[in-house]
Amino acid sequence: MFAGITTLAALIALFRAPWRQLLDQSARQHMFMLCTALLALLWLGGIQVQDNVTVHLLGLTPVVLIFGWELALLSGYLAALMLAFLGFWPWTALPVEVLLSVLVPVITTQALLWLADRLPRTNLFVYLLGVGFLGGVFSMLGALLLASHLQGWTLDHPLALLLAFPEGFISGAVVTALTVFAPSIMRTYDDVRYLGEE
């Protein structure tokens, strides 16, 4: 079931991804490969919260805002495949790992971006905090809640909040730095929308 869900999501992303924008810019291709490698490295770390339950940072909120959800999804899939190929993740657990580490944060961040883009009035902080910071927080909370449901372990809610805050802080800091110093990198950022600049 999970393999079918993750495969379908990958196929949709493959067909919808803005390949021309990616292939026409070598700098963007390098950034895509760098993000994929950084995701794999980030997922290697983690803390054990219960017996046989390890939680790691997700890191996909900035990737969604840099590339859009389609390429972010594919970047996450490639990172997961790298970890499985190198023996860090078991192949049998790959569909669940992709569901929790890739699909949940990508869908969560994209949903928040969709909501932010439909607000009648907005500003830069909606993008930085509402999508960048809260995207990380809600991604982690969503992944933890789904993991606890699927794997049958009891989620310690204070611990979940403690794990969600660093995810949100790091995501928000990365998104803020890139938006301020290199806004052209952020595919989902729009000066007119968030700053009112023509």
Q: What is the pLDDT of residues 90-122, one digit of tens each?
A: 999 899 999 999 999 999 999 999 999 888 878
Return the number of other C-beta atoms located less than 10 Å from residue 62's C-beta.
27
Q: Tell me what the mean pLDDT of segment 172-186 comes to.
A: 93
Span of 7-21, 27-41, 53-67, 149-163 with lowest mean pLDDT: 149-163
Say if CB 185 and CB 66 are below 8 A apart: yes
pLDDT at residue 55, rounded to an integer? 83
Instruction: Determine the Cα–Cα distance for residues 169 and 147; give it in Å rounded to an integer.
Output: 22
- Is pTM, for the whole model, over 0.95? no
How many angstroms from the chain centroid is the CA of residue 49? 21
Instruction: Determine the Cα–Cα distance for residues 84 and 94; give it in Å rounded to an integer.
Output: 7
Q: Give the end-to-end CA distance of the chain in Å, rounded to a whole number.
A: 48
Task: Reply yes or no on whether the pLDDT at 37 is more than 90.
Answer: yes
Domain 2-195, CATH number (from 3.40.50.2000, 3.40.50.1000, 1.10.1760.20, 3.30.360.10): 1.10.1760.20
Reduced to 3 states, what is the DSSP secondary structure of residue 49?
A: strand
Domain limits of the chain? 2-195
Residue 170 — φ and ψ, nearest 5°? -65, -45
